[in-house]
Amino acid sequence: MDQRPSIIVTGASSGIGAHAARALKAEGWRVFATVRRDQDRAPLESDGIETFLMDYTDTPSIHALIEAVLERTDGRLDALYNNGAYGQPGAVEDLPTDVLRLQFETNFFGWHELTRRVIPVMRAQGRGRIVNCSSILGLVPYKWRGAYNASKYALEGLTVTMMMELKGSGIHVSLIEPGPIASNFMANALKAVEANIDIENTAHRQEYQRQLKRLRGELSGARGKLGPEAVYEVLRHALTSPSPKPHYIVTKPAKRGVLLKRLLPSGLFYRILGSLG
């Protein structure tokens, strides 16, 4: 039987997930990586990573993933890294409710479904690690990102509650809250706003034009943006430390935002946030 520790890594086609899958494989983990498109499997499989098609909005694909992984591991799973997500930009008043609902299906409900399937396996083992890649926007909101902010705020609340409820089970739960990380996130956000927001018929039309330039890379990028290895550094700690932290905040802008939220009166803090973006 394969004695390597096993982990499911979601959203592994690029960015944080792809880097984590390869780094974990290099460090001796048996990695089960998920992607949404069949063409994204080959690059991972060429590196010896076992890949599966899984979409958080497709419940049968979540169930099929768990069944296939457990069949390969004889019913054992050491860790789950929920990572796959996307950001839907747009002013709150411009978000069609179905678009907001889809944001939650991908970033929240699908994560819950997958995690619920994993917990009984870990309970039976008496141990396990669950790491959810949230965002600094789950702690400090940002204009024009209401759908994404809301999904991550919900994830924070659900995960911290689960963390407390699993105390004593041997299952450790952690949240990673990255700030700006180099990835395909901006490109995917551009597609989402162009597909789902009526830019020509909104009071925010001028602001959307500016935001679209930023998403296309025509304006200066976010300061303090790091590579995915910064997230992997704290993921490794969450997976292997005898005492993993509940929260891992990544990048200087993210740490600065949390500090200001803690120190400043809320009115002043929100005024400062409102001047950004």
Inside any domain, residue 162:
yes
> Treating both helix axes as pointing N-terminal to C-terminal, what angle do 266-274 and 252-263 enclose, rounded to 10 degrees?
140
Range name among 23-37, 78-92, 184-198 with the lowest pLDDT average: 184-198
Residue 148 appears among annotated catalytic residues: yes
Q: What is the rounded average pLDDT of the residues 66-89?
A: 97
Q: Is residue 121 part of a domain?
A: yes
Distance CA 98, CA 102 (A): 6
Of the pLDDT bands very low, low, confident and very high (cuts 50, 70, 90), residue 178 is: very high
Residue 223 has pLDDT above 70, yes or no: no
| Domain count within the chain | 1
- Determine which of 94-108, 194-208, 255-269 has the lowest per-residue pLDDT on average: 194-208
Asked if the model's pLDDT at residue 219 lies above 70, the reply is: no
Amino acid at 57: T
Residue 120: is its pLDDT beyond 80?
yes
Q: How does pLDDT run across 130-162, given as a tens digit for each residue?
A: 999 999 999 999 999 999 999 999 999 999 999
Residue 170 φ/ψ region, left for φ over 0, alpha for ψ in the -120 to 50 degree band, beta for the rest: left
Residue 99 domain-assigned? yes
CATH code: domain of residue 195: 3.40.50.720
Instruction: Determine, yes or no, domain membership for 12.
Output: yes
* pLDDT at residue number 209: 86
- 219 in a structural domain: yes
Catalytic residue among 56, 142, 148, 208: 148
* 1 lies in some domain: no
Question: Does position 226 have pLDDT exceeding 70, yes or no?
Answer: yes
H runs (alpha helix) in 76-218 = 97-104, 110-125, 146-165, 185-196, 205-215
Overall size of the chain counted in residues? 277
pLDDT level of residue 220 (50, 70, 90 thresholds): low
The reported pLDDT for the residue numbered 224 is 58
DSSP per-residue codes, 57-76: T-HHHHHHHHHHHHHHHTS-
Cβ-contact 7, 24 below 8 angstroms: yes
pLDDT band at 218 (very low <50, low <70, confident <90, very high): low
Q: Residue 129's domain spans which residues?
A: 6-274
Q: Is residue 177 domain-resident?
A: yes
Q: Each residue of 36-61: pLDDT tens digit?
A: 999 999 999 999 999 999 999 999 99
